[in-house]
Copies of this chain bind each other. A is one copy, B any other.
Amino acid sequence: MKRKICVVVTARPSYSRIQTALKAIESHPDLELQLVVAASALLDRYGNTVKYIRDDGFKIAANVYMIVEGENLVTSAKSTGLGLVEIATAFDNLKPDMVITIADRYETIATAIAASYMNIPLVHIQGGEVTGSIDEKVRHAVTKLSNYHFVATKNAAIRVGKLGEDEGDIFVTGCPSIDLAKRVLEMPDLGFDPFEKYGGVGAWVDVKEDFIVVLQHPVTTEYALARRQAHETLCAARDLKTRVLWFWPNVDAGSDGTSKEIRAFRESDDASNMHFFKNMDGEDFLRLLMASKCIVGNSSVAIRECSFLGVPAVNIGTRQANRERGINVLDVDYDRQQIIQAVRKQMATTRYVGDRVYGQGDAGQRIADLVATIPLKIEKQISY
């Protein structure tokens, strides 16, 4: 009988990140994939990730609506609680042999707690990293709830070990997002017209010319600042006068502030050099980055995939603080002048040499092979 592996996908970035692992699990002879789509992945206004999941040919085992509207701190807590209630039902129906939870969001810990109390062996992907903010707390808490740790880097593995996890339960698989980056690096043609394929709003931008990509998320514990921070980047983008492809942020406390600022700016200021996209298939997004001169914002893509790809990056603020990084990144504050200077510097650079800190590009297959063979254990004890 095949092992049933349940993966809970909850947002655009986590889907992109895990996609090759999902494919490898689905096609593994000893495994059955149970894909649960939850939270913002189901919502049109956060990019309708579920559509991309279906387009990629995956069968969806359960849809879990769990976001309580409000986009403030109270509703973040409540969404986690509702998610836990709902995910428990999904697990009760699906009876998975193992659950995979990804990264450090509130859906991640809801998934982890449901699996823990339901005695289902739990694999955590992307533990052991360091960032800051609430994600930091959640990520390490999920490590302590998990039975297995598939980490992206050697440093992450060392950190998970220090957290008292058994060495035998920690595996450096690399990040599956790099699998996609590897494929893109091997054949880097853009191969699609972003405006035709993804629509979006705003100016038409000639992607045969130089352009930059912006992706900036609100930072949870600096809620009130979200709008001002978005404004700095928007002004920088305006003043740079280069072509800009801007991606809307995913759902979080504060995202409304960011989205609102973007809408307000478009109405009242000059965004005539910018085009705004809601979402993009992960591989297409990487191809677009390969074609760009620079990525700007606070997305981890700039640190992970772009270090592998060698794409120049301008990282704004503290969201990626302490994340391991390659030579492709320049760090700046939420300050339009700093942003402009750094972008100009990066635009003047030729592509960087990629490095392998986040993996070799075979993480998806390694994850599938691991979940097919590791023991189905739920007990554990701190190692010190």
Q: Which residues does A use to contact B, with CB under 8 Å? A: 42-45, 62-63, 65-71, 73-78, 80-89, 91-93, 106, 109-110, 113-114, 116-119, 130, 132-134, 136-138, 140-145, 159, 162-164, 201, 221, 253, 256, 260, 263, 267, 322, 378-382, 384
Contacts and interface: CB of A to CB of B under 8 A. Distances in A.
Given A136-B380, A379-B132, A382-B130, A65 B70 contact: yes
Contacts of A68: 65-69, 82
Given A142-B141, A381-B322, A382-B130, A65 B73 contact: no
Contacts of A76: 117-118
A113 B77 contact: yes
Tell me the interface secondary structure of chain A in the complex.
Answer: helix
Given A132-B381, A163-B163, A42 B70 contact: yes
Contacts of A67: 68-70
A133 B378 CA distance: 9
13 contacts: A65-B69, A66-B68, A68-B69, A74-B89, A74-B91, A77-B88, A81-B82, A81-B113, A82-B85, A116-B137, A117-B253, A141-B144, A201-B263
A75 B65 contact: yes
A179 B132 CA distance: 37
A159 B80 contact: no
B88 A69 contact: no
Given A42-B70, A136-B381, 13 more contacts: A44-B260, A65-B69, A65-B75, A68-B82, A74-B118, A77-B84, A78-B85, A78-B89, A85-B86, A130-B382, A137-B145, A163-B164, A221-B379
A92 B74 contact: yes
A141 B145 contact: yes
B381 A117 contact: no
A117 B134 contact: yes
A235 B359 CA distance: 53
